Structure 1
Amino acid sequence: MLPKTLEELDKVRDECKSMVTRRATASGAAAAVPVPAADVAADVGLLLELIPAINKKFGLTDEQIESLDMNTKAIIYSITKKVGTELIGRAITKKLVTAVLRKIGIRVAAKSVVKFVPIIGQVAAAGISFAAMKKVGNAHVDDCYEIVKKYLESNKETD
């Protein structure tokens, strides 16, 4: 269900940002383990859980949007298109998450290389992984927030 007020929306954003930080911490921990590709697999798994969880909190899963009336659905899809995100109102797949990770590919490649330097490399890989996951997660939270905020503003104008 879409948040109905700006206060409710702010609360959802804060909850989601906390969720992102927890997942970013898990990503950093996985990156510290010196096993090739284990961190990338962990990141994909974390994002496959995180993105839908964020969408659900904001009322923007594909099922939630489909249950809206036609007018509201049209407004949400229009705003989503303007924001330019592909992670809202769609089933989140491994392919879609991999595309998101490719956008931050330099960081992913860097953490894969540095993790083989004993101790310092593992710490650096954990830091890179934490920062990359936090960036992706918070960017998605910000996109969801912007979409719902614009919807609330457009709804206010029609009242």
Structure 2
Amino acid sequence: MPTALQLAADHPILMDAVRRSRKILNRRAIAGAVAGAVPIPGLDWMVDAALLSRLMPAINAEFGLTPAQLDKLPAHKRVQADKAIATVGSVLIGKFVTRDLVMRMAQHMGKRITVKQASKYVPIAGQAVSAMMSYAAIRYLGEEHIKDCVRVALKADLMLPAHG
């Protein structure tokens, strides 16, 4: 499976968007790991959901894929973007991201979340496991979302927003 940078190869602006998105992702994943280390069952999942509900729109913005950015596209580009989003199958691109949407997206991570919650009851080692699982879950979901954004931008031949 290619990485987001491999998917964006030969597109310097797209590669920059991937790098900026990964910076945002790394900060949020570390915050999730810190919350995962707190020995209060349930707190880490609430923090993870809040982090993800802010992370996905931030990544979308790097690729010009927020609802507001897509609405500004000419009609023919909007149609191309909609088709690309449907082809990629992302439920988080071009939509307002809510906690409910994040929860549905994260359901396929369910077993990890259950293990993470159970690990809270094992002193120190359990907190470390929970922190690592929070970090890994956020990194995985964020990285997959970045790949989806790259695929949509390429399929729809979108011009990415300017960054300075």
Fold shared per TM-score above 0.5:
yes
For the residues of structure 2 that align with 1:31 and 1:60, how far apart are their CA atoms? 30
Matched, 1:87 2:69: no
For the residues of structure 2 that align with 1:84 and 1:151, how far apart are their CA atoms? 14
Runs (5+) with no aligned partner, structure 2: 1-9, 159-164
For the residues of structure 2 that align with 1:101 and 1:49, how far apart are their CA atoms? 14
Residue in 1 that maps onto 2:65: 60
For the residues of structure 2 that align with 1:138 and 1:144, how far apart are their CA atoms? 10
Match of 2:45 among 40, 46, 52: 40
Match of 2:122 among 112, 117, 121: 117
**TM-score computed with the length of structure 2 as normaliser:** 0.87
Residue in 2 that maps onto 1:156: none
**TM-score computed with the length of structure 1 as normaliser:** 0.90
Which portions of structure 1, spanning 4 or more consecutive aligned residues, are displaced by more than 4 angstroms?
A: none
- Say what the alpha-carbon RMSD is for the aligned residues: 1.3
Q: Which amino acid is 1:139 matched to? A: E
Once the two structures are aligned, what percentage of the paired residues are identical? 34
Matched, 1:10 2:18: no
For the residues of structure 2 that align with 1:63 and 1:114, how far apart are their CA atoms? 41
For the residues of structure 2 that align with 1:115 and 1:100, how far apart are their CA atoms? 23
Residue in 2 that maps onto 1:135: 140
Shift of residue 106, structure 1, vs aligned partner = 0.9
Aligned partner of residue 59 in structure 1, secondary structure: coil
Runs (5+) with no aligned partner, structure 1: 154-159
Match of 2:103 among 98, 105, 111: 98
Q: Is the 8 A contact 1:24 1:133 kept in 2?
A: yes
Residue in 1 that maps onto 2:161: none
Shift of residue 150, structure 1, vs aligned partner = 2.1
Q: Where is the helix percentage greater, Structure 1 or Structure 2? A: 1
Shift of residue 101, structure 1, vs aligned partner = 1.8
